[in-house]
Amino acid sequence: MAVNLDGQLVVAISSRALFDLEEENQVFEQSDDRAYMQLQLDRLDQTAKPGVAFSLIKKLLAFNETGSQRVEVVIVSRNDPVSGLRVFRSVQSHALSVARGVFTRGREPWRYLTPLRANLFLSANPDDVKAALLKGFPAATVATHSARARDNYPQEVRIAFDGDAVLFSDEAEQIFQRQGLPAFQQHETDKAVLPLPDGPFKPLLKALHQLQQAGTTRMRIRTALVTARSAPAHERAIRTLMNWNIAVDEAMFLGGLAKGAFLREFEPDFFFDDQTGHVNSAAEHVPSGHVHSGVSND
């Protein structure tokens, strides 16, 4: 019987999202791929330090118990196969249960998301992320300058999401951009009982909900909606989640306040937002990623 990933939460992640390879990447950008390959080979036995998404991946993998494989992490990288040797050496040194990888030596790695049926793609390459989103995969560009996750909640995977253009479509955001806040508030009040259309990250939230429902004695998932919405526009967001039969643990309706300080208190392992201003604010405190979706990114 052929091996498959049915029923698992599949995360595809680039090497720069998982590990801190910014110094090596500078060599690649300032020289060529041969110099980069040689540097990686020279550092084969030097374990790469954790990157922006390391904490998220480590905790998700902890959902796997003996006889129960619930999460699969696959390295999907523009690295060449030789550089991939160091990536897998670092994976082993950090005791991460990652056994699969695709290394494309500069070609588009997002093409392999389809056979993987990935629930999430994290990369430091914005072009790859844009392409993945266009193909219908939840994807984000990791802010490589982000603060690293603190380890105050070792038995919780903590993930925070923006609402419009991330969990939900940008339908309401388009009203705000074109007509301003009063029109946006009125639009959302008038449609309070109508669920918002799905955004690019609804499939990930659904997969996380299913993972949580499967249960484990060691790990749980805690989610937060962190949005610039405020009352009365909060109601439609909550009713949409209710319509999906998915609950979030916390909801922050900030009415335009900077999100960074609130995320610092929530301490997520990762935060997803479609607006670079919010991502940069958050990255000062927590691991963050940009979702290139919606009218704000046109």
Token pair of 248 as six digits: 């979030």
C-alpha gyration radius of the chain = 19
Q: What are phi and psi of 226, to 5 degrees?
A: -125, 105
3-state SS record for 234-295:
HHHHHHHHHHCCCCCCEEEECCCCCCHHHHHHHCCCEEEECCHHHHHHHHCCCCEEECCCCH
Extract the runs of DSSP E, i.e. beta strands, from 137-258: 139-142, 156-161, 220-227, 250-253
* Cα→Cα distances 297→70, 166, 292, Å: 34, 12, 6
12, containing H or E segment:
strand 9-13
162 classed as catalytic:
yes
Q: Which of 128, 162, 164, 273 does the annotation list as catalytic? A: 162
* Closest among 47, 42, 57 to 21, alpha carbons compared: 47
Q: Are 107 and 33 in contact (CB under 8 A)?
A: no
Active site residues: 162
